[in-house]
Amino acid sequence: MSILTANKSKTAVDISFTEDKFIILLEDGREISIPLEWFPRLRKATPNQLKKWRFIGNGEGIHWEELDEDISVEKLLV
């Protein structure tokens, strides 16, 4: 008898944006969608500012220097 083990990752590999949310692609293939409304700095940002992000901690978080915003991927999964 075999047991399926799900390896759930908390590491982001890419992000994208729509008009009202951002989508995080995780290392294990899952996608999570987060309303920009939850993050006032992101909600007020221009599309160009939103594109200026970088991963921190090898994908454990996302940082926007210009917006002074840091988001933990793990905190979004809880």
> How many domains would you assign to the chain?
1
CA atoms within 13 Å, Cβ hemisphere of 74 = 6
pLDDT for position 9? 82
* 27-57 confidence digits (pLDDT tens): 999 999 999 999 999 999 999 999 999 999 9
The answer to whether residue 38 sits within a structural domain is yes
Its pTM stands at 0.84
> Three-state SS for 49?
helix
pLDDT at 62 over 80: yes
The answer to whether residue 34 sits within a structural domain is yes
The answer to whether residue 24 sits within a structural domain is yes
Q: Which domain holds residue 70?
A: 12-76
Hunting for tokens 């220097």 — which residue is that? 65
The answer to whether residue 56 sits within a structural domain is yes
**How far apart, in whole angstroms, are the C-alpha atoms of residue 53 and residue 64?**
5
The answer to whether residue 3 sits within a structural domain is no
What CATH number is attached to the domain comprising 26? 3.30.2020.40
